Structure 1
Amino acid sequence: MKKLNVVQSFYLFPNGSEPITQPLGFLSPEFHWMSWCLSCLQIIKLYHSVTLYTNELGNEVLIKQLKLPYSKVVITQNNYPAKLWAMNKIHTYSLQQEPFLHVDGDVFLWKELGGQTQSAGLIAQNVEVNDGFYQTILKEYQTREIVLPEPVAEISNANKVIRSCNAGVLGGSDLAFFKEYTQLATTFVAQYQEKLNEVTHKDVNIVFEQLFFYRLAEQRNKAIKYVLEDEISDMTYPGIINFLDIPHKTKFIHMLGTYKKSEEACKMLAKRLRTDYPDHYYFLLNVLKKQGLKMYYPSYNENPDIPSIQDQVNSYDWNKIYQEQHEQYHLYDQAFGNSSEFLETNFVTNNLVYPETTDALPANCMVPCSLEMKFKKREIDELDSLIMELLKEVKPIATLLEDLKNYFEPEDYTQEKEALLELLMLKLRKGCEDNMFLIVDRTDLAIA
């Protein structure tokens, strides 16, 4: 079966500063570009080809400066203001002459779409069902006398359950439908562009991109095949950015909305790009350094101002810690990929971790974070403290379980052993992610 033509679209708008310094909704500009790097590179890994539709400014950054390996670049004119950014995507849809899949630059894939999905007439990310969220936007449309066209008009009825779809990925083989859909949206925006620019709701675009698509498909009796089968009613999309389970369980991430400003999400994005595509990661950071951009993490900057909690912290070799934590991320993927790997993995407490001196409960320990180049507080409970104590020496899971046996009644231990093993896996996984525990490479043990 022929694979879909995968496309992406990106349009930059002048704002008086260097284009590459624009954060565009992210915590800091470097994370925005890391997102584009990871999205593009994963598509190429899976589909071997991806076409970028962009304007001159977008081409300047993604292609000329960041040198992302797009198979083809199509330069088109930007005819819409920055606020109506979805219209540039819709214009890209309208240009397609073969079955296609449009993937947003904040969407990351670790698996090709299934055969039934790839051959579907219409494809979208998932169904959204949230009356309150959409009604808030539609009420402002109504207040500003923006009249919805058929087949969307009746949706403004307050008693109507509003269903739509997320367009993080959108595409399919029904090109006639896309011609009708894009014409509907284009005509609507042309008629109301001035009023749409005045809408204050930040999600003004989802009506003519997502709701129009879903409602027109419904009216034309067109089935939509979804990448994610579960309907979403919580518009914060809990669980959509599970970087911890890549690549064994997590196959799809959409870093939408407020996740772009989440420090934890941005840190996981950076770590993933650094692990899987280190050449692009370090090249990106060097490009931004040359632009004089002050980046979010001190370790990214040329001459970082190293913060500390104690004077002793400044004596640590943060470059060495940075490299060690980089290596740990590879081992992390292996250790927690499946249960058999986990059972054969050796762990040890990080000797850089030290307890915070306090009588308060729950207790805290201080763990090194190489990106920030400082120690950070990490809350620990009694089991965390016990594991830290037992792992002062390198141990495999079987030995650690046997050691824990001494802290349980024999009958309780026998009955709860499986549950304890599962809890232990969760504790070690989070502890390794926070640099509290280290995974010991088997080759290092063999040499020792």
Structure 2
Amino acid sequence: MAVVTFPLHRSKTSAMPYYGYDHVTAVAIGGRLLASGVPAHSGYGEIIEPDWRAPRVRVVRPGDRAAQPIRRAVWSFWSIPYRRQHGRHWPSDYFHALSWILSFRLAARLFPTTALVTDDWGHELLVDRLRLPFDDISLTLNGLAGQDPSWWALGKLHAYREQREPFLHIDNDVFLWPGFPASGLSGEVIAQNPEHAPASDAGYYRPSAVAAAIRSTGGFLPKEFSEYTGETALCTGVVGGTAIPLLRRYADLGIRMVESAENQAAWRRLAPLEDYNLVVEQYLLGALCWGGAATDVQCVFGSQEDSYRDDDRRFTHLIASAKSDLHYMRLLERRVRNHFPADFEIARRRFGDQ
């Protein structure tokens, strides 16, 4: 997984800057917290193969400006996996709400249009209770009520497929700080960073296991997936781009892999299914980008290795179990309280007794 820095500052005033590091810089690496002097390459399931090199991508950097930058930020929230506690989760609804506030409010300053794809429960939480003013709201994820909530990425795939103009989808545990180069985002496909995804079952992707199970049961396996011989996925903490037909096709293939009746026998063999969300979301996207015609891929970081470095990209992603670490949660609480006090009071009144 990628490593990204969480900006820290000791000031308690309302004028506290959004970024800048002190002597104990925290980083998220697959949920592990590192301080000064702790080796960065602790890893989160990676297969350490020094000979592997990430494909070259176009890296967006501070100061970049595109002729037609992406103007639409999208979030998605399929509430059922959250409510049934599938996947990695926040220690309480209070911190989950604070994360939504910070992710939305920061990105809304960078993108002219904001959109939410959710279900009725998500609308009640984010719009009615937290009062986040999304410009566009879709309730199409109500249609996923019969799907297995182990597939927590399914709501994201449906949100990608729904888009009709260039967009950037932002996970609610991703924070784009002031200075993030949103004006430079123009790639056909945009993602957080390339990620090593070996075919072997030793890593956390295990695409060969998925392919073998689907083939043995006569299910549906996308041609791009089946023929892909590369070892690169794309981390989708942020994902989107300008190539809308390609992105909608990618989402459609991922949805079909998960939902089609012909694949259910294979998925029963592979349970627990939480382990395979990354295959149908991140590995499949890598296969579509690098398994066929060349695609303009733009990323925040050029590789996992690059994301270990200390250069400030104004970007934080609380990956995996970092979301359940109370050290991070208190930093999150402080940020929202100091910079978005009205939102903080709403969250505190609703959930602060947890």
**Is TM > 0.5 for Structure 1 vs Structure 2?**
yes
Q: Which residue, 247, 251, 257 being the options, matches 1:182?
A: 251
Q: Which residue of 1 aligns with 2:168?
A: 101
* Contact kept? 2:164, 2:244, Cα under 8 Å: yes
Distance 1:12 1:216, change over 3 A: same
Q: Which residue of 1 aligns with 2:181?
A: 113
Deviations 1:143-171 (A, max 9, x none): 5757643222245xxxx662111011111
Q: Which amino acid is 1:40 matched to?
A: F
Q: Which residue, 80, 97, 107 being the options, matches 1:33?
A: 97
- Distance of 1:261 and 1:209 partners within structure 2: 23
Q: Which residue of 1 aligns with 2:64?
A: none
Q: Which amino acid is 1:222 matched to?
A: T
Q: Which residue of 1 aligns with 2:223?
A: 150
Q: Which has the higher mean CA deviation after the structures are superposed, 165-174 or 132-141?
A: 132-141
Deviations 1:15-66 (A, max 9, x none): 9xxx699996112221111111110111112224311111111101111111
- Distance of 1:283 and 1:33 partners within structure 2: 10
* Contact kept? 1:134, 1:162, Cα under 8 Å: no
The answer to whether residue 125 in structure 2 is matched with residue 64 in structure 1 is no
* Contact kept? 1:126, 1:227, Cα under 8 Å: yes
The answer to whether residue 76 in structure 2 is matched with residue 9 in structure 1 is yes
The answer to whether residue 263 in structure 2 is matched with residue 192 in structure 1 is yes
* Contact kept? 2:71, 2:112, Cα under 8 Å: no
Shift of residue 73 of structure 1? 1.2
Distance 1:139 1:21, change over 3 A: closer
Shift of residue 112 of structure 1? 4.1
* Contact kept? 1:78, 1:88, Cα under 8 Å: no
Q: Which residue, 322, 328, 331 being the options, matches 1:259?
A: 322
Q: Which residue, 70, 89, 106 being the options, matches 1:42?
A: 106
Q: Which residue, 228, 231, 238 being the options, matches 1:169?
A: 238
Deviations 1:378-399 (A, max 9, x none): xxxxxxxxxxxxxxxxxxxxxx
* 1:189-268 equivalences in 2 (<5 Å): 189=258, 190=260, 191-193=262-264, 195-196=266-267, 199-200=271-272, 202-218=274-290, 219-229=292-302, 231-232=303-304, 249=312, 251-268=314-331
Shift of residue 130 of structure 1? 4.3
* Contact kept? 2:154, 2:255, Cα under 8 Å: yes
Unaligned runs of 5+ in 2: 1-67
Partner SS state of residue 267, structure 1: helix
Distance 1:225 1:112, change over 3 A: same
Distance 1:193 1:78, change over 3 A: farther
Distance 1:22 1:95, change over 3 A: closer
Deviations 1:207-257 (A, max 9, x none): 11111111111112212111122x1169xx868xx9xx9xxx451011111
Partner SS state of residue 8, structure 1: strand
Q: Which amino acid is 1:256 matched to?
A: I
Q: Which residue of 2 aligns with 1:346?
A: none
- Distance of 1:21 and 1:163 partners within structure 2: 29
The answer to whether residue 335 in structure 2 is matched with residue 272 in structure 1 is yes
Q: Is the helix fraction higher in 1 or 2?
A: 1
Shift of residue 261 of structure 1? 1.3
* Contact kept? 1:140, 1:199, Cα under 8 Å: no
The answer to whether residue 196 in structure 2 is matched with residue 133 in structure 1 is no
Q: Which residue of 2 aligns with 1:347?
A: none
Q: Which residue of 2 aligns with 1:90?
A: 157
- Distance of 1:201 and 1:238 partners within structure 2: 29
- Distance of 1:163 and 1:226 partners within structure 2: 13
- Distance of 1:227 and 1:54 partners within structure 2: 26
* 1:348-363 equivalences in 2 (<5 Å): none
* Contact kept? 1:99, 1:174, Cα under 8 Å: yes
Shift of residue 142 of structure 1? 3.4
RMSD: 3.0
- Distance of 1:224 and 1:166 partners within structure 2: 12
Shift of residue 196 of structure 1? 3.0
Deviations 1:250-282 (A, max 9, x none): 510111111011121111111111111121112
- Distance of 2:109 and 2:227 partners within structure 1: 43
Counting aligned pairs with the same residue, the percent is: 26
When normalised by structure 2's length, the TM-score is: 0.68
- Structure number with greater Rg is 1
- Distance of 1:221 and 1:69 partners within structure 2: 38
Q: Which has the higher mean CA deviation after the structures are superposed, 85-94 or 133-142?
A: 133-142
* Contact kept? 2:102, 2:336, Cα under 8 Å: yes
Q: Which residue of 2 aligns with 1:288?
A: 351
RCO greater where, 1 or 2, for CA within 8 Å and sep 6 or more?
A: 2
